[in-house]
A and B are shown apart, each in its own frame.
Chain A
Amino acid sequence: MNAWKLMVFVLCLLPLGYLGLGIYEEDLGPNPVEYLTHETGIWALRLLLLTLAITPLRRFTGWRRPVMLRRMLGLFSFFYACLHLLIWLWLDRELIWSGMFDDVLKRPYITVGFIAFLILSALAATSNSFSMQRLGRRWKRLHRFAYAAAALGILHYLWLVKADLLHPMIYMVVFLLLMGLRLPGLPERKPMPFRRKVVS
């Protein structure tokens, strides 16, 4: 693992460390379950949007290095989404399966969140060289579902909020911007070549 990857790996673990510390110090406020649910959910969304920012970044700067980090960012997004779901199932729904299925079926914000999670699971499961080779061109098509996952994730957030839509709207705008930057016909920079390390 090179230095870049290591750095991003550590950065992606920081929210987890912060939450872990909060649990240890019992300092997560009056409603720690809600706090943990919200924080893990929002980090899943942030990392997913960051993942989706990498292609436009390369397109407009020609900088290619972040592309190497994309898989890791996507997998971290899935990791936080897993924690989000786990905390909800375990600490909020108390592993009462009937109630959980009721929620998934009856409450639209949970339905779309759950679909987003299923999409991320499929993407995470195929985030390896073996799947890439096996799926060939279909791999790319499959992984475009990351857009749908992000859109559903934001819808999930939007529907969950009672009245103040400011925060989910900010995520929505960022998402739409990232989608807009993918439109064909925008000016692009030529990809920079990777500088190879000189091995003496």
Chain B
Amino acid sequence: MIIKPASKIRSSEITDQKIWRQRRQLIKAAAAGSGLLLTGMSGLAEALYRGPGKLQSIPDVRDTDYGEDLKPTAYRHITSYNNFYELGYGKRAPAENADSLKPRPWTVKVSGECEKPAVLDMEDILKIDQEERVYRFRCVEAWAMVVPWVGFPLGDFLKGFQPTSRAKYVEFTTLYDPKQMPGQKRKVLDWPYREGLRMDEAMHPLAFMATGLYGEQLPAQNGAPLRLVVPWKYGFKSIKSIVSIRFTQEMPANTWRRIAGDEYGFYANVNPRVPHPRWSQKRHRVLGRGLFGSKEDTQLFNGYAEEVAGLYKGMDLRKNF
């Protein structure tokens, strides 16, 4: 797969917005139409419910060729199979409890080792140029999906706060509010959820902040209104519903590592050669492919080795898992 950094894409390659919109509409219409034909009138409610179309669409999303050879997992699968313990513990629970999370108003506090700390309003974050990237998403539980995210590169965003030379890591924190996040009423994890990246990982062009999915705002179960996406790492690194970003000197103690450090590391790079005590990581199941033939071999760094392997040169990935 060829992934070009966004900056190298010639303007001639970028699909005109109007055409892009039309294309999306055509795809949507075709999907809704075939749904109707197949299932009759009762299919209408189904089509509306199961596809995108529930949430506000994000305007002016720029198309990119990140993952254009990948076939995105169906919206209904991406939004109904989630690990987001803040909204409930089963895979379906986050979707069922999604309404309790209010993604507006929302602010994100940026602090720590930087020249320009700030408190940002979500509306302002949405003013950053938004682009679509289709990424593979691999969970440590050995399942995977392909997700068309909308958002912006993390690195460019972070540079704006002018991190100092002392900033070696960046730590992200999820909202803590048991009223909005009923899962936090039980102390199953050490709330609030925290994750971190090394500075060079955060600055890597593939690291992404997502504000949307399938051209629309993120559903709560997928981490509304703002989440991290680190496609070469296991899903638990991609922290959801971020309220705080902090530049630090020390390696942040990410949540899963704090509760089971022998099972979940800081790096959490997808690696078929390093098994988890419960899941062999050699193969994974791609969601939405039915009962048979849904498994495939896991690739080092989830298939992004060409881009990111350099970050870990000379490191023992068995020790630094």
Contact = CB atoms under 8 A, between A and B. Distances in A.
B227 to A, nearest CB: 19
Nearest to B291: A32
B143 A31 contact: yes
Contacts of B76: 30
Given A30-B80, A164-B89, A164-B188, A99 B282 contact: yes
B287 A99 contact: no
Interface extent on A, as a size class?
Answer: 20 to 34
Dominant SS among interface residues on chain A: helix
Given A30-B80, A31-B91, A91-B291, A160 B278 contact: yes
B235 to A, nearest CB: 12
B40 interface: no
A26 B143 contact: no
B92 interface: yes
A163 B80 contact: no
Interface in A81-118: 91, 94, 99, 102-103, 106-107, 109
Interface of A: 23, 26, 29-34, 36, 91, 94, 99, 102-103, 106-107, 109, 159-160, 162-164, 166
26 contacts: A23-B291, A26-B290, A29-B77, A29-B91, A30-B73, A30-B74, A30-B77, A30-B80, A30-B145, A30-B288, A31-B81, A31-B287, A32-B291, A33-B285, A33-B291, A34-B143, A34-B285, A94-B283, A94-B295, A99-B282, A102-B280, A103-B280, A106-B275, A160-B278, A163-B85, A163-B259
Interface of B: 73-74, 76-77, 80-81, 85, 89, 91-92, 141, 143, 145, 186, 188-189, 259, 275, 277-278, 280, 282-283, 285, 287-288, 290-292, 294-295
